[in-house]
Amino acid sequence: MQIHTTDKPFNITKKQVYEAYKAVKSNAGAAGVDGQTIEQFDSDLRNNLYKLWNRMSSGSYFPPPVRAVSIPKKTGGQRILGVPTVADRVAQMVVKQLIEPDLDPIFLADSYGYRPRKSALDAIGVTRERCWKYDWVLEFDIKGLFDNIDHELLLRAVRKHVRCKWALLYIERWLTAPMDKDGIIIERSRGTPQGGVISPILSNLFLHYTFDLWMGRAHPDLPWCRYADDGLVHCRNEQEAQALKAELQARLAECRLEMHPTKTKIVYCKDGKRKGTYPNFQFDFLGYGFRPRLVRRSRDNTLFWGFNPAVSASALKDMRAAIRELNLRHRTELPMNEIARQINPLLRGWIEYYGRYSPSALYPVLRYINQMLLAWTMRKFKRFRAHKIRASRFLQKLARENANLFVHWRLSMIGTFA
């Protein structure tokens, strides 16, 4: 592919577009308003990428409307996700890959969301250690961040750090691209659609100025951690946490955002040494539940109360729902290795993420999967239909002899099939 172009107003290379396409394809994703899937885009790949490059490098690229998709929130209500077309995702990726090397270094160490070489597990780890050192946590949530980011304030930050003229041009166009909700075109004057490729880095930049730098100026002695619009600040006492909550509420209002009234709370990190009774002594963060737990001391094998993370109850509920949606217990026409092929990617991700801290808290959902396999076995094989114990013994033997068949069978605790 040609690397340099000189006959266009904007020096965007074909290689940049192709690299962006590869990143978009690896992330998969649904079709946008044009109904075109990744597979359909691939069927005429060379022509599609050429047209996109030609329009972007000439300045004539205008993003199509973003398809609005409603998904249910865990706490009730609906969240609107924006699904750009495949071509628009590639265009956004071109700009993201251009600006990220300049923007990411300005972000602070305790900003973890959507950043290279940082992860949600890093945020969980640092939060775990700080909960041992600080008695109180202000858990805050920004109401509808992606829907309410102020364009004027955001573009002020973007123009300060992004010098490339064509990147600025397209960022402005994406911010005002309308949404298509069931055929109804909705114009936008604020927000950056959650689901867009460019949205996470823009929201990080906005909160870098709204919260991160402000905390450094106003409360340099209080450690904090932020993952996108979910954040925590560790405090020494309840009064300090209450005062900070009021200050942060005012700061967000100044930046034309709103603190979520019910998701924001002050939590007492109660353990064996901290006394007193308070309304909130647990919180969820990035799928982990932080609360007082009995922990075994390694040096003398005794139990003590510690404030520690483990997979949250809501995450366990979501996992069970994901397994139920597969409806595998009724798919008796499938061989067991096909059941494993469908379940293992889910299991691998859950164990890798939630198994980092308090892995035994995952056992209920692993047992649930084993019970699903038991129900499937009793339906599939006539000899087990009225013999639950025999079916259970069959699966126990299979798990010992074929531990690699299911990801969770490789763990020391296989679970019960009864």
- Mean pLDDT, contiguous 10-residue spans, the chain (418 residues): 58 95 93 93 96 95 92 71 94 97 97 95 97 96 92 97 95 94 88 90 97 97 96 97 97 96 93 85 96 81 86 96 92 93 95 95 93 92 88 91 91 62
Task: Give the contacts of 413 (CB within 8 A, at least 6 positions apart).
Answer: 360, 363, 366
Q: Which two tokens stand for residue 2?
A: 């040609």
Number of Cβ atoms within 10 Å of the Cβ of 190: 15
Q: Which residue has the tokens 């993420």?
A: 353
C-alpha 89/C-alpha 31 separation (Å) is 10
Tokens at residue 114, please?
């959507």
Helix 14-27, helix 45-58: angle, nearest 10: 120
Q: Do the Cβ atoms of 340 and 405 come closer than 8 Å?
A: yes
Map residue 139 onto helix, strand or coil. Answer: strand
Residue 140 to residue 264: CA distance in whole angstroms: 4
Q: Give the DSSP H or E segment for 204.
A: helix 199-207
pLDDT of residue 9: 82
User: Quick one: CA torsion of 284, 288, 291, 297, rounded to 10 degrees?
Assistant: -160
**Distance between CA 135 and CA 117 in Å, rounded?**
30
The reported pLDDT for the residue numbered 184 is: 86
State the pLDDT at residue 84. 94
The rounded distance, in Å, linking the Cα atoms of 242 and 236 is: 11
Single-letter amino acid code for the residue at 163: R
Q: Reduce the DSSP state of residue 247 to 3 states and report it.
A: helix
Structure tokens at 396: 């126990």
Task: Name the DSSP class of 283.
Answer: E
Q: Where are the domains of the chain?
A: 14-259, 312-402
Q: pTM of the prediction?
A: 0.90
Residue 200: count of CB within 10 angstroms of its CB = 18
The Cα 82–Cα 50 span in angstroms is 25
Confidence at residue 248, expressed as pLDDT on a 0 to 100 scale: 98
pLDDT in the model for residue 5: 44
**What pLDDT is stored for residue 341 in this prediction?**
95
What pLDDT score does 1 carry?
41
- Distance between first and last Cα of the chain: 60
Q: What is the pLDDT of residue 10?
A: 86
What pLDDT was estimated at residue 3? 43
Q: In what order do the strands lie in the sheet with 288-296?
A: 283-285, 288-296, 303-311
Other C-beta atoms within 10 Å of 186: how many? 12
Output phi, psi for 181, to 5 deg: -110, 105
